Structure 1
Amino acid sequence: MLLAVSYVQDLDPLGNRILSTIVASLPVLVLFYLLVQRRWLASKAGAAGAGVAILIAWLVYGMSLKMSMWSFAYGACFGLLPIGWTVFNAMLVYNVTVETGQFRNIRRSISSLSKDGRIQAVLIGFAFGAFLEGSAGSGAPVAVCGAMLVGLGFPPLRAAVICLIANTSPVAYGGLGTPIIVLSDVTGIPGETLSVMAGRQLPFLSCIIPFYMVKVMCSWRQTFQVWPALLVGGAAFAVFQYVFACFHTLPFVKGIVVYHVTDVTSSILTMGVLAVFLRFWKPKHEWHYDSPPPFTTPDPDKLIDTDPHKVDEIAHDPHAIEAAKAAAFLTDTTGDDIPLTKMEVVRAWMPYALMSVCLILVGVLRQMESKGDVWIIPNVLKSRYKIEVPTLHNEVQRAEKLQKPGLAEPENEKAEFNFIWASAAGTPVFMSAILSMLYLRTNFGQIKRIVRKTVVQMKIPIPTIACMLGLSYVTRYSGIDATLGIAFASTGILYPFFAAILGWLGVFLTGTDAGSNALFGSLQKITATEVFNNHTAAFENLSLEQTQTLLSTANSTGGVMGKMIDAQSICVATAGTNQIGREADIFKAVIWHSILLASIVGLMTLIQAYVWPFAAMVPSP
Structure 2
Amino acid sequence: MSDQFTIVTDPVGNSVALSALFAVLPLLTLFVLLGAVRMRAWLAGSISLLVALVVAVGIYSMPVGTALLSASEGAAFGFFPILWIVINAIWVYNLTVVSGHFDVLRRSMARISPDMRVQAIIVAFCFGALLEALAGFGTPVAVTVVMLMALGFPPLRAASVALIANTAPVAFGALATPIVTLGTVTSGAGDDARLTTETLGAMVGRQTPLLAVVVPLVLVAVIDGRRGVRQAWPAALVAGVVFAIGQFLASNYISVPLTDIIAALMAAAAVVLLLRVWRPAESPDLRVAQARPAGAAGTRSGDEKDPPDARPADGTGPAGRAAAVVAERRDTPVEVVRAYAPYLIIIAIFSIANLGPVKSALAREPWTVAFGWPGLHVLGTGGKPLSSTTFTLGWLPAAGTLMILAGLLTALVLRVRPGAALRAYGRTYAELRHAIVTVMAVLALAYVLNQSGQTGTLGEFLAAAGGFFVFLSSMLGWIGVAVTGSDTSANALFGALQVQTAERAGLDPVLLAAANSSGGVLGKMISPQNLAIAASAVGMAGREGDIFRRVVGWSLLLLLLMCVLVTLQGTPVLDWMVP
* TM, length-normalised to structure 1: 0.84
Question: Following the alignment from structure 1 to structure 2, what is the Cα–Cα distance between the partners of residues 333 and 447?
Answer: 31
The 5 A counterparts of 1:549-564 are 549-564=510-525
Secondary structure of the equivalent of 1:564? helix
Alignment-mate amino acid for residue 591 of structure 1: V
Q: CA deviation at 1:353?
A: 0.8
Question: Following the alignment from structure 1 to structure 2, what is the Cα–Cα distance between the partners of residues 366 and 422?
Answer: 15
The answer to whether the aligner puts 1:364 opposite 2:346 as a matched pair is no
Question: Following the alignment from structure 2 to structure 1, what is the Cα–Cα distance between the partners of residues 410 and 153?
Answer: 33
Indicate the percent of aligned positions where both proteins have the same amino acid: 37
Question: Following the alignment from structure 2 to structure 1, what is the Cα–Cα distance between the partners of residues 41 and 362?
Answer: 38
The answer to whether the aligner puts 1:610 opposite 2:577 as a matched pair is no
C-alpha contact (below 8 Å) 1:153/1:292 kept by paired residues = no
The 5 A counterparts of 1:432-471 are 432-471=406-445
The answer to whether the aligner puts 1:242 opposite 2:241 as a matched pair is no
Query: Match for residue 368 of structure 2?
Result: 384
The 5 A counterparts of 1:59-458 are 59-188=58-187, 189-248=195-254, 258-289=255-286, 291=288, 331=322, 334=325, 336-364=327-355, 368-369=359-360, 374-375=364-365, 382-392=366-376, 395-399=377-381, 403=382, 410-414=383-387, 415-458=389-432
Q: CA deviation at 1:366?
A: 8.3
Compute the RMSD of aligned alpha carbons: 2.2
Question: Following the alignment from structure 1 to structure 2, what is the Cα–Cα distance between the partners of residues 59 and 219?
Answer: 56
Q: CA deviation at 1:446?
A: 1.9
Q: 1:24 to 1:273 in 2, by over 3 A?
A: same
Alignment-mate amino acid for residue 497 of structure 2: L
Question: Following the alignment from structure 2 to structure 1, what is the Cα–Cα distance between the partners of residues 75 and 156?
Answer: 37
Question: Following the alignment from structure 2 to structure 1, what is the Cα–Cα distance between the partners of residues 132 and 339?
Answer: 18
Question: Following the alignment from structure 1 to structure 2, what is the Cα–Cα distance between the partners of residues 518 and 105?
Answer: 38
C-alpha contact (below 8 Å) 1:154/1:292 kept by paired residues = no
Match 1:488 to one of 462, 468, 478: 462
C-alpha contact (below 8 Å) 2:472/2:563 kept by paired residues = yes
Q: 1:127 to 1:607 in 2, by over 3 A?
A: same
Q: CA deviation at 1:571?
A: 0.6
Question: Following the alignment from structure 1 to structure 2, what is the Cα–Cα distance between the partners of residues 11 and 335?
Answer: 60
Q: CA deviation at 1:383?
A: 0.5
Q: CA deviation at 1:215?
A: 1.4
Q: CA deviation at 1:197?
A: 0.4
Question: Following the alignment from structure 2 to structure 1, what is the Cα–Cα distance between the partners of residues 185 and 545?
Answer: 34
CA offsets 1:394-436 (integer angstroms, 9 cap, x no match):
x32222xxx4xxxxxx422131111110111111111000111
C-alpha contact (below 8 Å) 1:90/1:176 kept by paired residues = no
Question: Following the alignment from structure 1 to structure 2, what is the Cα–Cα distance between the partners of residues 465 and 140?
Answer: 15
C-alpha contact (below 8 Å) 2:110/2:326 kept by paired residues = no
Q: 1:202 to 1:444 in 2, by over 3 A?
A: same
The answer to whether the aligner puts 1:7 opposite 2:5 as a matched pair is yes
Q: 1:498 to 1:373 in 2, by over 3 A?
A: closer
**Corresponding residue pairs, total:** 542
C-alpha contact (below 8 Å) 1:366/1:423 kept by paired residues = no
Question: Following the alignment from structure 1 to structure 2, what is the Cα–Cα distance between the partners of residues 177 and 287?
Answer: 38
Query: Match for residue 541 of structure 2?
Result: 580
C-alpha contact (below 8 Å) 2:151/2:326 kept by paired residues = no
C-alpha contact (below 8 Å) 2:11/2:60 kept by paired residues = yes
Question: Following the alignment from structure 1 to structure 2, what is the Cα–Cα distance between the partners of residues 368 and 565?
Answer: 38
Question: Following the alignment from structure 2 to structure 1, what is the Cα–Cα distance between the partners of residues 234 and 266?
Answer: 17
Query: Match for residue 301 of structure 2?
Result: none
C-alpha contact (below 8 Å) 2:41/2:438 kept by paired residues = yes
Question: Following the alignment from structure 1 to structure 2, what is the Cα–Cα distance between the partners of residues 138 and 265?
Answer: 19
The answer to whether the aligner puts 1:597 opposite 2:579 as a matched pair is no
Alignment-mate amino acid for residue 285 of structure 1: E
Query: Match for residue 536 of structure 1?
Result: none
Question: Following the alignment from structure 2 to structure 1, what is the Cα–Cα distance between the partners of residues 153 and 439?
Answer: 34
Q: CA deviation at 1:462?
A: 2.1
Question: Following the alignment from structure 1 to structure 2, what is the Cα–Cα distance between the partners of residues 573 and 242?
Answer: 29
Q: CA deviation at 1:361?
A: 1.9
Question: Following the alignment from structure 1 to structure 2, what is the Cα–Cα distance between the partners of residues 154 and 521?
Answer: 38
Query: Match for residue 295 of structure 2?
Result: none
C-alpha contact (below 8 Å) 1:203/1:238 kept by paired residues = yes
C-alpha contact (below 8 Å) 2:3/2:66 kept by paired residues = no
C-alpha contact (below 8 Å) 1:365/1:423 kept by paired residues = no
Q: 1:360 to 1:215 in 2, by over 3 A?
A: same
Secondary structure of the equivalent of 2:371? strand
Q: 1:373 to 1:18 in 2, by over 3 A?
A: closer
Q: 1:140 to 1:368 in 2, by over 3 A?
A: closer
CA offsets 1:159-199 (integer angstroms, 9 cap, x no match):
11111111101100111111011111100121111110011
Q: 1:345 to 1:26 in 2, by over 3 A?
A: same
C-alpha contact (below 8 Å) 2:42/2:435 kept by paired residues = yes
Query: Match for residue 30 of structure 1?
Result: 29
Higher mean C-alpha displacement, 358-367 vs 280-289: 358-367
Question: Following the alignment from structure 1 to structure 2, what is the Cα–Cα distance between the partners of residues 587 and 199?
Answer: 28
Q: 1:365 to 1:50 in 2, by over 3 A?
A: farther
C-alpha contact (below 8 Å) 1:165/1:213 kept by paired residues = yes
Q: CA deviation at 1:338?
A: 2.9
Alignment-mate amino acid for residue 536 of structure 2: A
C-alpha contact (below 8 Å) 1:58/1:68 kept by paired residues = yes
CA offsets 1:536-580 (integer angstroms, 9 cap, x no match):
xxx6xxxxxxx1111001110000000000011101111111112
